[in-house]
C-alpha cells in the first residue's frame, strides 16, 4: 500500500494545485514513484486521457510533474458547471448526467466506492500518493457528506499540510480560523502549516511565525515565495486571466480572447502570452474585440448560454466587424460552434439559435460526448491559412455537439480569415502557433522574424523543476518526510 500526503487549503486559491504539483516533482526527483489524486474536482479546465476519459486539467499537470501517464484514477469525480446551480457530473472519466447542487449533495456519498477503487488502483505501483483537497475543509454545513477534504483524509488515513495564501492578507487568521473550526480528530491530522505566495523579505514575517505559537501548536512547514509560473491552474477564476477593457500598446500584435462566462480550457492559448511583440488580453468589451489583430473565441461548457451572452453584450457584432476589417478570428470547440450558422439542442426541446455565420457549419447538440485524443498532419486548407498545411497537430476533443461542414472533413475548417476546430491544444505545437504569428506579423507589417516559441510542454517541464527547487529550499522536508512516514 502506498504512503500518502494530503494538501488542503484555507480557501480556494490558496495554491493547492500548484503546490501539489511541486511536491510531486520534488519527490520524483528524490527517486520515489509518485502519483497525484483528487477525489472530486470542480473545474471547466479539463483534459482527455489516452483511453478517452476526462479529468481536471490540474491533475494532468500533476501527472506530468510525477512522470506518470494521465489516468482517470487521478480524479475519479469531475464536476463541470453548466449554470449557476448545476453541473455535469463525470465519474471515472465519463459523464453520467447533469445534477443541481442539492441533488449532487444528497447523492455524492454513493461515489465513495468509485473513489476508493480509483485510489486502490493508483496505489498498486506507487510509493507516495500526494492528494489535493478542494476549497476549504471547514465548510461546516457540508462536512457530514465530505468526500474531498477531511472526509477523504479519514478514508485513506492521510496526514495533512494546511496551506494559507498570504497574498490577499489575513493569512494567520485564515490558518487559525480553519484549525479552530475542526474537531480534535481532524486537527490532529494536520502535521504542518504552509504560508504560500509570500512577497518581500521573509525576515519581516518571522516574528509573526513565532507569535503564532501562542495560538496554535501546529508547526510551520515553510513559507513559499510568490513565483511567476506558466503552469495550468485549476479553473477559469485563476488570476492568470488578464482581463482588460482594451489594448494599451501600439506596434504590437494585439490578441484577445473573449472572456465567456463559462470559458473552458483557457490554457489553449497560453503559448501567445509573454511574447515581446504581442499584447495578449482577455476581454468582455466589444471595443477591444474590434481593435484586435487576432480574436479567439474559446471553449465553453454552455455554448448556447454564452452565445446569448455575446449577443447581449454586442460581442457578436464586434467579432463580425473585426473579421470584416481583416483580423484573424479563431474558434476552438464551443467557440468553433459559435462561429457557425446554427446551433440546435435536440435533447429535451428544440432550442435553436443562429451563430455568427462566419463559418459554413451547423451544430446539433446530442447526449453522447466526444472524448478523444487526436493527432495528424494538416492538409487541404485553402486561402490565408494554407501556410499551415503540412504542420503536425496533436491535442484532444471534448464536446457534446456534432458539427457538419460543407465539403470538408478536416480537423480545421476555414473561411477566409476565420478558422474553427474542435482540437484543444491546437496551438501547443509551436509550428502551428509560429505559423499563425507569422501571418499576424505579415498583416501587421512587422518586419522582424517571428520569435522561436517554446512548446507548452517544454515551458511546464522547466517551471516544474523551478518550483521543485523552490520548495526544496523553503519547505521543512524533514517535517514532511516524518508526516509521510519515510
Which sequence positions are flagged as catalytic? 333, 424
d(CA 207, CA 191): 21
d(CA 32, CA 110): 33
Distances (CA, A) of 343 to 98, 316, 340, 346, 355: 20, 15, 8, 10, 7
8 A C-beta contact, residue 259 and residue 243: yes
8 A C-beta contact, residue 424 and residue 334: no
d(CA 128, CA 470): 20
8 A C-beta contact, residue 41 and residue 194: no
8 A C-beta contact, residue 78 and residue 38: no
Q: What are phi and psi of 457, to 5 degrees?
A: -65, -45
Using a 10 angstrom Cβ sphere, with 0-12 exposed, 13-18 middle and 19 or more buried, the burial of residue 158 is buried
Using a 10 angstrom Cβ sphere, with 0-12 exposed, 13-18 middle and 19 or more buried, the burial of residue 213 is exposed
Residue found under cell 488580453: 281
Distances (CA, A) of 84 to 21, 31, 123, 261, 396: 30, 44, 36, 10, 27
Please tell me the total number of residues recorded for the chain in this structure. 486
From 317, 319, 352, select the one nearest 335 (Cα to Cα).
319
d(CA 259, CA 456): 21
Sign of CA dihedral 278, 281, 283, 288: negative
8 A C-beta contact, residue 414 and residue 385: yes
Q: Which residues contact 360 (CB under 8 A, 6 or more apart)?
A: 340, 341, 405, 406, 413, 415
Amino acid at each position: 500500500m502506498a504512503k500518502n500526503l494530503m494538501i488542503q487549503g484555507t480557501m480556494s486559491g490558496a495554491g493547492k494545485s500548484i503546490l501539489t504539483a511541486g511536491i510531486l516533482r520534488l519527490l520524483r526527483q528524490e527517486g520515489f514513484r509518485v502519483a497525484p489524486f483528487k477525489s472530486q474536482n470542480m473545474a471547466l479546465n479539463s483534459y482527455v486521457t489516452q483511453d478517452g476519459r476526462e479529468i481536471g486539467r490540474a491533475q494532468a499537470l500533476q501527472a506530468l510533474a510525477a512522470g506518470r501517464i494521465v489516468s482517470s484514477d487521478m480524479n475519479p469525480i469531475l464536476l463541470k458547471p453548466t449554470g449557476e446551480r448545476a453541473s455535469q457530473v463525470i465519474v471515472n472519466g465519463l459523464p453520467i448526467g447533469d445534477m443541481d447542487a442539492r441533488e449532487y449533495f444528497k447523492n455524492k456519498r454513493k461515489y465513495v466506492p468509485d473513489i476508493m477503487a480509483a485510489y486502490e488502483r493508483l496505489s498498486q505501483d506507487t510509493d507516495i500518493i500526494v492528494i489535493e483537497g478542494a476549497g476549504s475543509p471547514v465548510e461546516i454545513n457540508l462536512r457530514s457528506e465530505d468526500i474531498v477534504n477531511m472526509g477523504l483524509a479519514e478514508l485513506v488515513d492521510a496526514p495533512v499540510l494546511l496551506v494559507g495564501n498570504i497574498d490577499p492578507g489575513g493569512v494567520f487568521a485564515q490558518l487559525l480560523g480553519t484549525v479552530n473550526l475542526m474537531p480534535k480528530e481532524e486537527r490532529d491530522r494536520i502535521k504542518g502549516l504552509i504560508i504560500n505566495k509570500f512577497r518581500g523579505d521573509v525576515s519581516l514575517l518571522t516574528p509573526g511565525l513565532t507569535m503564532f505559537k501562542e495560538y496554535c501548536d501546529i508547526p510551520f512547514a515553510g513559507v513559499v515565495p510568490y513565483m511567476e509560473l506558466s503552469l495550468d491552474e485549476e479553473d477559469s477564476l485563476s488570476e492568470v486571466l488578464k482581463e482588460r477593457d482594451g489594448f494599451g500598446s501600439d506596434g504590437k500584435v494585439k490578441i484577445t480572447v473573449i472572456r465567456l462566462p463559462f470559458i473552458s480550457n483557457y490554457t489553449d492559448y497560453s503559448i501567445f502570452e509573454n511574447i515581446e511583440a504581442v499584447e495578449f488580453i482577455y476581454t468582455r468589451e466589444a471595443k477591444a474585440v474590434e481593435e484586435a489583430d487576432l480574436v479567439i473565441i474559446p471553449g465553453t461548457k454552455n455554448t448556447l448560454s454564452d452565445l446569448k451572452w455575446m449577443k447581449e453584450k454586442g460581442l457578436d457584432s464586434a467579432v463580425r466587424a473585426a473579421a470584416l476589417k481583416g483580423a484573424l478570428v479563431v474558434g476552438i470547440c464551443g467557440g468553433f460552434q459559435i462561429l457557425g450558422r446554427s446551433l440546435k439542442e435536440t435533447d429535451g426541446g428544440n432550442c435553436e439559435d443562429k451563430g455568427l455565420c462566419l463559418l459554413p457549419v451547423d451544430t446539433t447538440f446530442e447526449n453522447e460526448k466526444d472524448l478523444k485524443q487526436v493527432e495528424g498532419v494538416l492538409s487541404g486548407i485553402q486561402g490565408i491559412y494554407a501556410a499551415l498545411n503540412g504542420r503536425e497537430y496533436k491535442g484532444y476533443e471534448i464536446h457534446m455537439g456534432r458539427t457538419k461542414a460543407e465539403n470538408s472533413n478536416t480537423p480545421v475548417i476555414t473561411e477566409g480569415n476565420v478558422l474553427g476546430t474542435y482540437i484543444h491544444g491546437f496551438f501547443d505545437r509551436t509550428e502551428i502557433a509560429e505559423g499563425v504569428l507569422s501571418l499576424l506579423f505579415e498583416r501587421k507589417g512587422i518586419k522582424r522574424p517571428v520569435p522561436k516559441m517554446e512548446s507548452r510542454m517544454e515551458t511546464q517541464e522547466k517551471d516544474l523543476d523551478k518550483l521543485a527547487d523552490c520548495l526544496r529550499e523553503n519547505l521543512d522536508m524533514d517535517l514532511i518526510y516524518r508526516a509521510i512516514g519515510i
